[in-house]
Structures are given as C-alpha cells and as structure tokens.
Structure 1
Amino acid sequence: MRGSSGGTTLAHSEIDAIRALLGSKPRPVGWSERRQRLDEVGSTWPVAPDVRCEAVDCDGVAGEWSIVPGSEPTRVLLYFHGGGYCSGSIVSHRRLVTEAGRAAGTRTLAIDYRLAPEHRYPAAHEDALTAWRFLRRQGIAAAGIAVGGDSAGGNLTLGLINRLRAAGEPLPACAWLISPWTDLTMSGDTLATKDAIDPLIHKAYLDELADAFAPPSINRQDPLISPLLADLSGFPPILIQVGSAETLLADAARLAQTAGAADVDVTLQIWPHMIHAWPVWNAHLEDGRRALAYAGQFIRAQIR
C-alpha cells in the first residue's frame, strides 16, 4: 500500500512507536483490567476539536453519535468496536470512529454492545440488530447506512448482515472490516506463522476469548459465530483492511476469497508492517490515516 522507500521508513518508525506504547505495561489478566487497558491505549490521543459527540439510547443499547462539520445527516456509519467480544468500548475506539466519519462524510453511530463473559453469544448480536433497527426507525434508509467494525466488531458486522438477509430485510450499502476475526474455530495458518511478530493477538488469547463468548457447548462452526463459514451470496460490497503483521491475516484473506467466490464485490487491502486494528492510532500513524481515507472513499462510493 506504499510507493516509496521514504514512506516505508516513516511507517516503520511510526508503527514501532505504537508497538512501544502497547508494550509499555505488562499484559493485564482480569477482564476489568483488560477493558481498562484497551480504553487507555485506544484513547491515548483525543478526538479532534471539531467533533461533536452525543450519547444516545438505541432502544436499550448504549450508543454515541459523532458529527463533524459537513457530515451528511441522512448517511450514517454504524460501527462496532473490537476487543474479542470481551473488551473495547466507545471510549477505546472514539478517535477511530470519529475520523472514519469525517473521511466518509457521514454521521457515525458507535455501539457499546454487551460484553462476554457476563453476556455470552448471542447478546452482542442481539444488540447489533437492535441498533440497526433503531437507526432505521430514525428514518435512515438502509442504502444510506454503512456498517463497519474491527476484529470482533468485523465479525459482528458480518453477523448482522447475515441476520438481515435471513429475515428478508433491506441490507446496508456496504461493509467495512478492519482486521476481522472471522473464524472462531481458529484454523487460520497465520495464527502460527505470524505469532512472533504480532504484538497483540495470539492463539491462546483467542481461545480464551472464544471460550468466554461462545463456550465449547456452542458450535463455533455456526456461520453467525464464524462468518468465514457463511454463504455470503447477496452481501453488499465489502472492504477488508488487514495488516501483514497480524495473526488474523488468514481470517481476512480467506474471507475475501469466500466473498469473491459468492460473487460479492470485495476489496482486500493488506498493509505492510501494520498490526492488528492499526487505524485506532491514526492520530500518530500515517498509515492509519491513509487506511481511513481509503475506507472513506469506499463508503462514499456505496451509500446513497
């Protein structure tokens, strides 16, 4: 995704600084500690001063609108944060979501869905559907909504579209996925081949998250839990962005293949040297800003 050696050098130095930030404290153990840590590192840089954020009750699900000058009120990016279904929040992803809305020229609606292990599958999926129907009742056309998410939020995005399709409801204009976790059976080969360079996501950690969200008694081959295994026929256009330094690289690449085989308009971008969900740190990461710019162009081209 880069065309000059100078750009490559800058990307290396910037991503190394983010790696240093992530490694500056020991990895927390408990759920509350993990949630606090993700909120802390995700909100290292605040939102831009021209962003207006407003809390909203989405029929019992907590959400937050964000609006920047020039946002088109009839177009919305509905966003689901990552965190393995067990952590992450509006706070941890606020900078990412608000700048994505700027790039796309839309309002954004970020959702604080219920987290595991307190709330196991399908709680998060139910909240996603509730948020979608809340938006639709506000008079926003399905064709005016882009749905996006990173990591588990990407999984949740695909699950929402799958549920809408099964119900025969209008689908969103497009889906935007950052570093999506698409296979909770953990069969991707990059879980092993990228383990030594991924600073965040490792198979043992994913196993723990999967057990918390969908205990072993639940079939993780269910397409709503592992959307890699879903029939994606009829899905709207999908943009998948993933870093080359991710253990979840195979989850993204195989999803693109699955979508393409189902005749879905899918774009896969693999960003050299980037780590899991790198656009979260867009304030001090040029490749984070560039990824959001691409996503904004994609969303603008799809929503009506």
Structure 2
Amino acid sequence: MGRLSILSTLMGTSLATGARRLKRGPLRPGWSFKYEATVAFMKATHERIIHLDAPAQRAEMELLSLPSSALKRVRREPVDAGGVPAEWFTPPGATGDEVVLYLHGGSYVFGSTRTHGDLIARIALGTGVRVLGLNYRLAPEHPFPAPVEDTLLAYRWLMSNGVKPARVAFCGDSAGGGLAIAALVAMRDGGALPPAGAVLIAPWVDLECSGESVVAHERFDLCDKRMLLHWAKWYVGDADVRNPLVSPYHADLHELPPLFVHVGGVEMQHDDGVRITEKARAAGVKVHLEEWPEMVHNFQTFGEGFPEAVRGTAKLCEHLRSVLGEAEARSSEA
C-alpha cells in the first residue's frame, strides 16, 4: 500500500474521470473536472482500504495529509486535555477567552488532527479563535462509549482551566458531528453546563444508515452503504445501535444549545442532517440547516484549492462566531 498505491489510485481515477466526462459530461452539472476527480479518488481510496485492518486504514488516511498555507499560519501545540491527546491550533492574535472544540470525522475508525489539520487551521484563521482538535480514542480497539467519554473529559478540562461554557463552541464533521450531539445529550442528562452551541458538518447521527439518501446518493459520494455499516459495526460493538449516544437521531434533544447543521445536496448523510434538524426543531432547539447543492460529504475538507470548500468553511466560521457571540450577549444580559 502506501504512497505508491495512493499515486496509482490518483492517476487511475483522474484518467477514468477525464474519459467519462468526454463521453457523457460531468457526473453532476456543477462539478468541475478537479472536483469530480477528487470525489472519484476518495471513493476509490475507501474501496481500496475497506478490507484492511483498522491500523492500516488509519495509516493510509494519514498519508493523504498534505502541507497547506493555512497550517503555516497557525501555531500548533500538542496538549493533554484531561487525559485525551489533543492539539491547539492558535491563529495570530487569539486569546484564551474563546475556544472551538473540534471533533474530527472518520467513521469513528480513522481521522486525527493530522488528517483534519488543514480544515481546523482554516477554521481557526476564519474565526480568530483558538481551536482544540481532539484525538479521541478510535474503534474497533475503543468502541462506544470511548469517544463520548473523551469528549466529556476534554470539555471538563477546558472548564478546569478557566474557560467558561458560554465561550466554547463545538464543531465536528461526519462522525465528529454525531459525537458532538451525543456529548451535548450526555451533558444535559448529567447536569453539566453546556457549551454555547455546535456547528455540525454532515453529522452522522443514524448508524443504521436508514435515510433514503444513503442509497439514493451513493453513486455521487465518497463511499457506500456497505462501508458505513462496516465501520458502524466496529464502533457500536456490543451496544445497541439505537442507543441515543450511539445514534443521536434516537435521542431526546430538548434543552440542547443552538445548532447549525451543514449538509451537501448529494451526499449520503444528507437525510441525517435534515432529520436531526427537524427533530431538534420539534424539541424546541434553535437550529439552522444550510444545504449546499451539488456538494458531497465533507466537501469543506477539500482544501483552499476548491472554491466550494473555501465558501463552505467561511460559512462555518460565520456560524461559529454567531454561536459564540449570541452566548456572550445572553451572558451579559443575565
């Protein structure tokens, strides 16, 4: 495997994408060649690694991480966040008053502050706020509830270091988005003061993958239902897949802080984002759904070379600033 396999996959998918577009045009009307080839490359990568064991899958995904201008403009500092490995991403001029706690995606099996470092750095730069990227434990070695426990530990660590709940916003993509909601539910049930709110990128909230979009959008997205169920099985372990902290779609969402949900119009988790928004709204939660037409799963992670990712990240930052600003206003009024 390794870099040679990555290069071979990249070349093969680029050639195949070019040939197909010449005959039939773009797979989606708004897709550039670069965007479509990137989607094809990521899907082929997932198909190539799905049969590997978890450490090998992680190693392959780590190899996809590349240097970026955003990473050069933030200060990175590893830290022990209450027993959980984490990393600070600090933009120029940031103070310690506000914090974004970032929970990476990767189906609870892979992902880290390395694979998501560029996006985390762009969020730090776009908000002007320090971001704490959490390297929570991963399945199958550490199935549910390990990631939920690690998130709660890191949040308590922030509080113990003088950060006020109203000055913290959660942000997470895919599995990390579902994890953010699960942690909010666990905090509410445990009587802990919640953060200001959460901004969620394509949250994976239904690990049974029952949404219609999982199948309807499979041909456009970065993986397929078979892969999702495989990773879900590793994470769920001996737990009930409908446990509210495993699949927050089944949780009681009343009294959660404000949520901003971003979904791609042609991604498999589209219905997860729509359904969790509807359920939160019905429970009286202040929630805003933003749908991005023609976009696939986690398109914000594609990097600064993609206009779609730049616009999507700018909107994430706008929503994070809104969450923190509104919480500060409420705190001042109180």
TM > 0.5: yes
1:233-284 per-position Cα deviation (integer Å, ceiling 9, x unaligned): 1111111111112111111110111111112111111112211111112221
The 2-side partners of 1:224 and 1:96 are apart by 26
What whole-Å deviation, never above 9, does each CA across 1:171-221 have from its counterpart, x for those lacking one?
1111011111000122111111111111x2311111111110112x42111
Q: Percent identity?
A: 34
> What secondary structure does 1:276 align onto?
coil
Task: Give 3-state SS (helix, strand or coil) of 2:303's partner.
Answer: helix
Which one of 13, 18, 22 corresponds to residue 38 of structure 2?
Answer: 18
From 108, 116, 121, the counterpart of 2:139:
116
Contact 1:14 1:284 in 2 (8 A): no
Contact 1:120-1:212 at 8 Å conserved across structures: yes
Please report how far the alpha carbon of residue 99 of structure 1 lies from its aligned counterpart in structure 2 after TM superposition. 0.8
Of 45, 62, 67, which aligns to 2:90?
Answer: 67
- Cα pair 2:177 2:203 within 8 Å, conserved: yes
What's 2:218 paired with? 195
Within-5 A mapping of 1:212-223 = 212-215=234-237, 217-223=238-244
76-85 vs 44-53, greater mean Cα deviation = 44-53
Distance apart, 1:58 and its partner CA: 1.1
Q: Are residue 210 (structure 1) and residue 245 (structure 2) matched?
A: no
Q: As a proportion of its length, which structure holds more helix?
A: 2
Contact 2:30-2:294 within 8 A present in 1 as well: no
Give the 3 Å change call, closer, same or farther, for CA 48–115 of structure 1 in structure 2.
Answer: closer
Partner of 1:230: 251
| Alignment partner of 1:126 is 2:146 | no
Bigger radius of gyration = 2
User: 8 Å contact 1:42–1:281 — kept in the other structure?
Assistant: no
Does the 8 Å CA contact 1:93/1:280 hold for their aligned counterparts? yes
Residue of structure 2 aligned with 1:156, choices 154, 166, 179: 179
1:279 lines up with 2:300 in the alignment: yes
Q: Secondary structure at the match of 1:143?
A: helix
Please state how far the C-alpha of 1:56 moved relative to its aligned partner: 0.2
Name the CA shift for 1:129/1:266 in 2 (closer, same or farther; >3 Å). same
Amino acid at match of 1:225: V
Q: Is the 1:150–1:178 contact (alpha carbons within 8 Å) kept by the matching residues of 2?
A: yes
Paired AA for residue 280 in structure 1: T
Q: 1:135 aligns with which of 145, 151, 158?
A: 158
Q: Residue 270 and residue 14 in structure 1: after superposition, are their counterparts in 2 closer, same or farther (change >3 A)? A: farther
Q: Distance in 2 between matches of 1:11 and 1:100?
A: 24
**Partner Cα distance (1:11, 1:67) in 2:** 34
Counterpart-to-counterpart distance in 2, 1:48 and 1:213 = 30
- Greater shift, 145-154 or 281-290, is seen at 281-290
Match of 2:115 among 92, 99, 110: 92
* Structure-2 change in CA distance of 1:84 and 1:23 (3 Å): closer
Deviation by residue 1:39-97 (Cα, 9 ceiling, x = unmatched): 23343646432211000011221000011113242100001110010111110000111
Measured after TM superposition, the shift of residue 10 of structure 1 is 7.6
Compared CA separation, residues 72 and 9, structure 1 to 2 (3 A): farther
In the superposition, the TM-score normalised over structure 2's length comes to: 0.84
> 1 CA distance for matches of 2:131 and 2:171?
10
Whether the 8 Å CA contact 1:21–1:41 is kept in 2: the answer is no
Give the equivalent residue in structure 2 for 1:3.
Answer: none
Higher relative contact order (CA 8 A, sep 6+): 1
Q: Look up the match of 1:259.
A: 280
Q: Give the distance between the partners of 2:120 and 2:269, measured in 1 at CA.
A: 21
Whether the 8 Å contact between 1:43 and 1:93 is mirrored in structure 2 is no
Q: TM-score, normalised by structure 1?
A: 0.91
Q: 1:77-88 counterparts in 2 under 5 A?
A: 77-88=100-111
CA distance in 1, matches of 2:48, 2:265: 22
Aligned AA (1:299) = L
Distance (Å, rounded) in 2 between the aligned partners of 1:293 and 1:266: 19
